[in-house]
Structure 1
Amino acid sequence: MPPMTTGSTRIAVVTGAGRGIGLAIVRALAEDGLTVVAGSRTVSDALKDATPDALEVDLAIPDGPARLVQHALDRHGGIDLLVNNVAGTSTPAGGFLQLEDEAWLHTFNLTFMSAVRATRAALPSLLDRRGAVVNISSVNAKLPQPRLVAQSAAKAALSNLGKALAEEFAARGLRVNTISPGPVWTDLWTSPGGPGEMLARRAGARLEDFTEQLPEAIGVPTGRLADPEEIAALVVLLASGRVANMSGSELVIDGGMLRSV
């Protein structure tokens, strides 16, 4: 299939784009004038509205990320920006001793290996176009929590990967940066069985009555969770070239949670 875009149009690939932070990133990049290829296990109506080029793909399997990247190359002829956002977690009620190998592998495949595979597939085009990679890590890479032990470890690996890639490919024009959000206000916090409900139950309250207390309960000094659009705004900044000499950096947006780490 011939490329659909030519000239100066910048092409972005975003993983884990179906909801929350990923969906906000797709919308923000599209509003900034980029053509966005979005990968998600489920292509929602909201994602279809955000970009006409959304691919249903399982990014946890070995060929999933390369399939998404190849789709972007076939459709648009190149890639200027790769946003590795997709993540997975396994949080058994019994903690670490209940976390079997299969759960660890699922978390690492979706959170870390998807980024390795997508970056590897996109790298020739990114280098040719002197593009950028933005990895969405987490405050838990430096502030691990027992109930998120697998995700914390995978995010720490992702943060480390970004710095290694930034050093290896800087001389060839590639910029690699990491954004590490703290708690972000998505449906994760309001969904049944989610962490919001768990915290509300511990406090003896209903979730709908507990939402205003969530920031204090999880230790956010600013008193509020970040909006997904705040993370997306940082991605747009890093992709824009307005901070062209920033590479190997980690931008933390956590409401002050890491003040003592």
Structure 2
Amino acid sequence: MTKLFDFNNELSDKIALVTGGTKGTGKAIAERLSKAGATVIITARHHPGSMDEKLHFITADLSRPEGNEKLVKEILSSFGRLDILINALGGSETPGGGFAVLNDKDWENTIQTNLLAPVRLDRGFLPQMLERRDGVIIHIASIQGRLPLFDSTLPYAAAKAGLINYSKGLSKEVSPKGVRVLTVSPGWIMTSSATKMMERIAESSETTIEEATQSVMDALGGIPIGKPAQPEDIAEFVGFLVSPRAKYLTGTEYVIDGGTIPTI
């Protein structure tokens, strides 16, 4: 008889870290792994105020090297090991206007958060994973790694392209030693922040939120499935990737964009 997986408890013996786990897609991922039975740690610069009582919060500024070092030390000291690392932290705060308005600080800050933070955390947690020959690392990238938007997020797109490349190289090194490394590249996700942005666009352009949403989809070249993703869509797939059901998957980038990228 075929053995059935218990999806509600398949991660019950695992300890997971989700960076950026206090809001948006990171929060949805953290809650999904917790529901699967994992002990889940989340981190941000500031405490979110209200959060799922099953989650463990550690304050850390991952845009700085010392923040990454602090987080690694606290987790290994308090929990003894880490089985699953989800590098979900990311974002762009650079101004619009193209390359000419971007200075070195804009580039450095974006690369620190979107590329170097995952690199540092991987470096901090991989030794104990390799020693046990067991572990999963997921890098949350973006379709902007392939489909950059130059007006305001060029550094972000470049950092995510670097993350995708780095993730593939890392997988080649550590997969033979028991650690799986994968990349998930979402398209546009309708987080609470995105919803607020649609409200601002609608107000400034005197249109509806639906029309504002369509204008953004048009700027992306269209989303064939007809709508942005929800954070839970990404979280559900990540939950599969870190589970025993995906034990043969490593080194691959998975694009979840509703068909946005128009090429194969």
Closer/same/farther in 2, CA of residues 114 and 169 from structure 1, 3 Å limit: same
Counterpart in 1 of 2:31?
Answer: 27
Structure 1: tracts of 5 or more residues without a match:
1-7
1:224 to 210, 213, 227: 227
Give the alignment of 1:133-152 within 5 angstroms: 133-146=137-150, 147-152=152-157
CA–CA separation in structure 1 for the residues paired with 2:130 and 2:212: 45
1:101-123 per-residue CA deviation (whole Å, 9 max, x = no partner) reads: 00100000011000010000001
Give the alignment of 1:67-146 within 5 angstroms: 67-129=70-132, 130-146=134-150
1:259 shift after superposition: 2.8
Which amino acid in structure 1 is aligned with residue 154 of structure 2?
A: V
Counterpart in 2 of 1:5?
Answer: none
3-state SS of 2:192 partner: coil
Check the 8 A contact 1:69/1:122 in 2, yes or no.
yes
1:50 shift after superposition: 5.3
CA–CA separation in structure 2 for the residues paired with 1:232 and 1:50: 19
1:200 shift after superposition: 4.2
Closer/same/farther in 2, CA of residues 216 and 114 from structure 1, 3 Å limit: closer
Check the 8 A contact 2:13/2:38 in 1, yes or no.
yes
1:178-201 per-residue CA deviation (whole Å, 9 max, x = no partner) reads: 00000001022222xx4x357547
CA–CA separation in structure 2 for the residues paired with 1:71 and 1:206: 48
Corresponding position: 1:178 with 2:179:
no
The Cα RMSD (Å) is: 1.9
Structure 2: tracts of 5 or more residues without a match:
1-11
Counterpart in 2 of 1:213?
Answer: 214
1:154-194 per-residue CA deviation (whole Å, 9 max, x = no partner) reads: 00011111101100111100100000000001022222xx4
TM-score normalized by the length of structure 2: 0.88
TM-score normalized by the length of structure 1: 0.89
Counterpart in 2 of 1:63?
Answer: 66
3-state SS of 1:45 partner: coil
1:40-64 per-residue CA deviation (whole Å, 9 max, x = no partner) reads: 1222134x31544111211101121
1:189 to 194, 217, 226: 194
1:199-252 per-residue CA deviation (whole Å, 9 max, x = no partner) reads: 5478x3345353552564332111111110111111111111212111100111
Check the 8 A contact 2:201/2:212 in 1, yes or no.
no
Counterpart in 1 of 2:158?
Answer: 153
Closer/same/farther in 2, CA of residues 225 and 214 from structure 1, 3 Å limit: farther
Identity %: 36
Counterpart in 1 of 2:5?
Answer: none
Check the 8 A contact 2:39/2:55 in 1, yes or no.
no
Which amino acid in structure 2 is aligned with residue 14 of structure 1?
A: V
3-state SS of 1:133 partner: strand
Corresponding position: 1:248 with 2:251:
yes
Check the 8 A contact 2:34/2:55 in 1, yes or no.
no
User: Across the two proteins, how many residue pairs are aligned to each other?
Assistant: 249
Check the 8 A contact 2:64/2:112 in 1, yes or no.
yes
CA–CA separation in structure 2 for the residues paired with 1:211 and 1:116: 36
Corresponding position: 1:166 with 2:171:
yes
3-state SS of 1:183 partner: coil
Counterpart in 2 of 1:11?
Answer: 15
